[in-house]
Chains A and B, each alone.
Chain A
Amino acid sequence: VFNNLATQAVIFRKNFAVDIENNMSEIVQGMIWAGSGLIVFLGLVGLNGLLFIRRLNDAQKALSKANIDMNRANNLLEVRVSERTRDLQLAADISKTSAQILELDKLLPQVVQQTARAFNLYHVVIALVDADRQEIVFKTRANRQGIITSTQRLSIGLDTRPSLIARAIRDKELVLVNDVSKSTSYMPQAELPNTRAELTVPLMVRGQVLGALDLQHDQGNHFTFDHQRLFSTLAEQIAVAIDNARLHESEIKTAEELRKVDKLKSQFLASMSHELRTPLNSILNFTEFVASGIFGEVNQQQVDALKKSIASGEHLLSLINDLLDVSKIESGMMELFIEEVQLGPILDEVANTARALIHEKPITFRQEIAPNLPPIRADKRRLKQILLNLASNAVKFTSKGHITLTADIQGDELLFSVADTGLGIEPESQKLIFEPFRQSQSGLSSGGGTGLGLPICKHLTEAHGGKIWLESTVGQGTTFFIRIPTQRETPIPV
């Protein structure tokens, strides 16, 4: 505008100067010129002003348009943010549900159906890899209406081309095709004519690909970058849920198998016990008959030989009984027959057996039994079994000295002990010897027994509500203690 003004002014001055140098009429003429120049000048100024105002208007318009655009963008952003928040919430819901279902047959339909509905998808599939058959099995499919039921097993080879699912699984990478008509990886399916966009996410756990989550939409360009991230996260959660469900199923299967094996073991032990005891009936009794002379006279040497045979047969029987007891304990079938028990006869029997076992060893057997021991409620046979076991162990591991059996009442409990002057038990073996099939070093080197006697004693004592323990010094001897309550109606399940 000012440039224009300046130019006009220069033109005017030039004209004016020329006019004065010429004649007056020309001055008038010049004045006219000047006037018209002024008019032109003013006109130009006005025009420029108008133009300026118009430009100002345009700027203002642009500014307000930008404002509107910004508002619009803002709104759009808000919508996008709320959509994304909603999507994340939906995905969180799905992964939460999936984490709660431990059966694969329930988990997959739930996840697939929920995903299809929540994200308004044309088609959703979870396909799992069957590594043995090199196949991808379409486990569960759903559309907006819900689960698509199919009785036949749908599967494709792992090397199938074209297939987005096979590719995603092979490459362990997400595959996105937002316009299936232009993709060479897309495998058209007759029953899904409206698929326009497909997103396949591998289901990965610990670097292993379990399968794929496949999402199809009937609008092209449906899947955004946000979708990719969202469904990748969802796929991770689903993969973990599948992995958990499989672990759970294999745990159940293992437990069932263990139960079966356990039952078989019990049956085997029961029948083994029966099958071994039956021939022992003949072996022991015919030998006894001969040794006792009812079939005719036998000399001392023959009697001695037969007695050894009987002793071995009885040892074999005690091993079978120990095995049977352990199998009863392990299957929880060991039961006590609790009754009122007089201790005198039991302690006498234990003492007699111990003396018989000592035989010619230089060991004295001593009893320190408190007078007037009250009767106790216990399983007579099992109580005797515990004490006999301890006494025979004492004899086995003592070469000379003495073995002492004590019984005393302490409050409402009975305290028994069997002390010997034998080998003693190394400290590291003292706990182990109560575990099945574990013997101390001296137990092993003695070559006798099954390593079951003490575990059985422990179980039987505890089933009586009692406690068994030992004190031992290597080279000096061992004392086993047993404490049993005098009054107990029902056995303690151990």
Chain B
Amino acid sequence: MNSFVYIEDDPHSREVMTILLRQVMGFEQVTVWEHGQNLIERLASLPYQPSTFLLDIHMLPVSGYEIHDTLRAHADYAHACIIAVTASVMTSDIHKLREYGFNSLIAKPVKMQQFPLLLRQILNGQAVWVV
């Protein structure tokens, strides 16, 4: 069962992703947060253990990179699928994401026609780096 946590500070982007995951793709276990503070405590309070994380990168005070590291350092999420969903797609950003150990990247803006296909590929175990 696929379950998601999406962390994103832009409210409209949160809404877009919620619609894509719930209404377009039909997933039910979707949690959307606006920041990554107290992450582990909040994860523990969820009724399910998320298998896939979608992370915006440029966020304050906790960046997507830091959230990634926090997750990887925790036994429950060390092997979770972590996808960067970011509008920062300079070569240096992409290198940094790869170095950190993100599983995939889907650049913003995401596309309604394309996103479901890409996400399914990722959930099937492929690494997808789409700018």
Contact = CB atoms under 8 A, between A and B. Distances in A.
Given A286-B16, A324-B90, A333-B90, A278 B112 contact: no
Contacts of B19: 285, 289, 294
B20 A285 contact: yes
Nearest to B86: A274
Contact of B23 (A294, A317, A324): A294
5 contacts: A278-B10, A281-B87, A284-B109, A288-B112, A333-B90
A282 interface: yes
A278 B16 contact: no
Contacts of A286: 12, 16
Interface residues of A, number: 27
Interface of B: 10, 12-13, 15-16, 19-20, 23-24, 58, 86-93, 107-113, 129-131
Contacts of A334: 91
Contacts of A317: 109
Contacts of B13: 278, 281-282
A296 to B, nearest CB: 12
Nearest to A334: B91
A277 B20 CA distance: 18
Interface of A: 266, 270, 273-275, 277-286, 288-289, 292, 294, 317, 324, 328, 333-335, 337, 381
B85 to A, nearest CB: 9
B129 A281 contact: no
A338 B9 CA distance: 34
Nearest to B131: A381
B30 to A, nearest CB: 15
A337 B12 CA distance: 32
B12 A274 contact: no
Contacts of B112: 284-285, 288-289, 292
A132 B11 CA distance: 56
A273 B110 contact: no
B90 A278 contact: no
A334 B92 CA distance: 10
B91 A273 contact: no
Nearest to B16: A285
A337 B107 CA distance: 16
User: Which residue, B12, B23, B112, has most C-beta atoms of chain A within 10 A?
Assistant: B112
Given A282-B13, A337-B129, A381-B131, A277 B90 contact: no
B91 A333 contact: yes
Contact of A274 (B15, B87, B130): B87
A337 to B, nearest CB: 7
A281 B54 CA distance: 15
A277 B129 contact: no
Given A275-B87, A281-B12, 8 more contacts: A266-B90, A273-B89, A280-B108, A281-B87, A282-B15, A288-B112, A289-B23, A381-B130
A282 to B, nearest CB: 4
A285 to B, nearest CB: 4
